[in-house]
Amino acid sequence: MTGYEDPNRDRLKQHFAQRVVHQARHVLEVWQRLQRSAWNPADTAELVHACQRLGQYAQRFEQPAHAELAAAIDQCLQAIHANRGRPGSLQLSELNSLMQRLSHTGLRQGDRFEAGILPPLRKPIYLALQDPERSERLARQLEFFGLSCLICDSPEAFRQAMQQRYPAAIVMEVDFYGPGLGLRLVVECQQGLAHKLPALFFSEREADTLTRLAAVRAGGRDFFCASLDAAALIERLEELTDTVQCDPYKVLIVDDSRAQATFTERTLNGAGIVTRTLTDPIRALAELNDFQPDLIILDMYMPECLGTELAQVIRHNERYVSVPIIYLSAEDDVDKQLGAMSEGGDDFLTKPVEPRHLIATVRNRAARARNLKARMVRDSLTGLYNHTHILQLLDDARLRARREQKPLSFAMLDIDHFKRVNDGYGHPMGDRVIKSLALFLKQRLRKTDHIGRYGGEEFAVVLPDTDGPTAAMVINRIRERFAEIVYPAQPQDLRCTFSCGIAELHDEPDANALASHADEALYVAKRGGRNRVEVFALATVPGEILQLA
């Protein structure tokens, strides 16, 4: 019959698209392992196979965006294979860029389903707890945060589930249907696996050291005693199950010797570390701004300037005070080496340097620097960006949006009647609500969005490539779902809402001006009854606001 639409067609198309996104997530998981294993041949081969399968699925199920990315990644991997498995810096940069794009095709829940792109298909969490009511309650809470659950009501049900599909994580009661049986079940299911599944154990009574040691050996990543707090469990599961794009370390090499610079570059590239090389030290500051490295390697003696002089110039810039600097030089005088490190340096390697020594030193220093930076720019309670850094990210996004002529929106959220929560339920409950909203935003927004805790119960979100009405639609959907979350408490359960103000970039001169407009819209939302989203509009009528409630 002409014009007849099969009602199952859309459902089938979504199902197939989910399979493609699931395979894309597998590619990203292998890519993460590859960054940690210094291009282990087994992981490299698995990445090639996973990428080829992604290309096959994408073509079969008509997902052109994924098919294009799979082909580009495969081409890059073939070039690395042709170079005897040793990636060059340009190849690593290109591959990392492609992986970033691939990670962005899997949108968070709550985003628009456009261009055939669906939210990522996440593996379920297996719950193996003796109390059915506790299992049901936990499953409902986890599902609010986008984590699907499978409740296993017996050891046989758990074994059967494991045979059918591996989970993202296991939540297992130590004495699941028998003393220590939960531990033995997890040990049994981990046998033969190249990478252990993350397991979280629970015990109704305080566990002794031997029990906790057995849990660690079974792959236990956390241990809960007496009570199983849903908020703490959700946070831990999110850390363990989220596929976060793993960026390779970036190193700027400054050395006037082309031969030495090439050796350093090839050594680090072979370990999956992206490099950029300068033989002219005078260009160092410009390259720092453009490349934003995790670490700098400096030669001690160069015609234009000494490495120690350049290190001090770099340290004059506040942005690079904490970037590690390693001197690489033929200088073997210990006093001179110590003197160099006192002038802006963090380590000293003597030429010729053993490749393994160079790689290990760079990895360790860069890892510590990243961890330190994360502590400096993130809020301790939520793990979100702090007030200062979210404004810096907003200004960076503003400049980028102007340069690329793309839209940008900034949202400010405030939990309604938060003082009543603290006064009526106590500050621990207030902290729990703040942490749950932080996690909810991370779950429901794109990976390209920046989320910060602006202060107290106030949050901020930078939404690149998003106009005001679209940002309002996304945040409003989050607002509706957040209001459904129930926090078990006495004398009665608690529900919370938030208000939001959004400003779209127009001709604001800086990040503070854009934030001020978002704050004005938030004030209107609060004054208008709370639990609503409003967008600041530059219009002929002063204070005109787009409302969503």
Exposure string of 475-501, with b = 16+ CB inside 10 Å and e = fewer, is bbbbbebbeebebeeeeeebebebbbb
* Cβ 412 vs Cβ 452: under 8 Å: no
Q: Does the reported pTM lie above 0.75?
A: no
Q: Which residues of the chain have pLDDT under 50?
A: 1-7, 107-121, 243-245, 540-544
pLDDT tens per residue across span 329-341: 888 888 888 888 8
| Residues paired with 128 in a beta bridge | 172
Q: Return all residues near 371 (Cβ < 8 A) that are at least 6 apart.
A: none
61-84 residue pLDDT tens = 888 888 899 999 998 888 888 877
Which residues face 504 on adjacent strands? 409
Measured between alpha carbons, how far is 174 from 138 in angstroms, rounded to an integer? 17
Per the listing, tokens 């503070």 go with 512
Q: What is the pLDDT of residue 24?
A: 84
Tokens of 536: 């600041």
**Strand 450-455 with 458-464, pairing:** antiparallel
Task: Report how far residue 270's alpha carbon sits from residue 89's, in angstroms, rounded to the nearest whole number.
Answer: 9
Q: Quote the CA–CA distance of 70 and 73 in Å, as a whole number.
A: 5
Give the per-residue pLDDT at 244.
47
Bridge partners (DSSP) of residue 348 are: 327
Radius of gyration for the chain, computed over Cα atoms and rounded to the nearest angstrom? 26
Checking DSSP bridges between strand 347-350 and strand 325-329, what pairing results, if any? Answer: parallel
Apex 58 CA angle, 477 and 124, nearest 5? 50
Phi and psi, residue 226, nearest 5°:
70, -60
Element (H, E) at 435: helix 427-444
**DSSP-derived secondary structure for 172-240:** EETTTTSTTHHHHHHHHHHTT-SSPPPEEEEESS---HHHHHHHHHTTEEEEEES---HHHHHHHHHHH
Task: Give the separation between CA 34 and CA 73, rounded to whole angstroms.
Answer: 14
* Closest-CA residue to 143 (of 352, 353, 410, 440): 440
Cα of 365 vs its chain's centroid, Å: 21
Structure tokens at 377: 């720019």
Strand order in the sheet with 325-329: 274-278, 250-254, 295-298, 325-329, 347-350
Specify the DSSP class assigned to residue 107.
P
Count of CA atoms in the C-beta half-sphere (13 A) of 109: 17
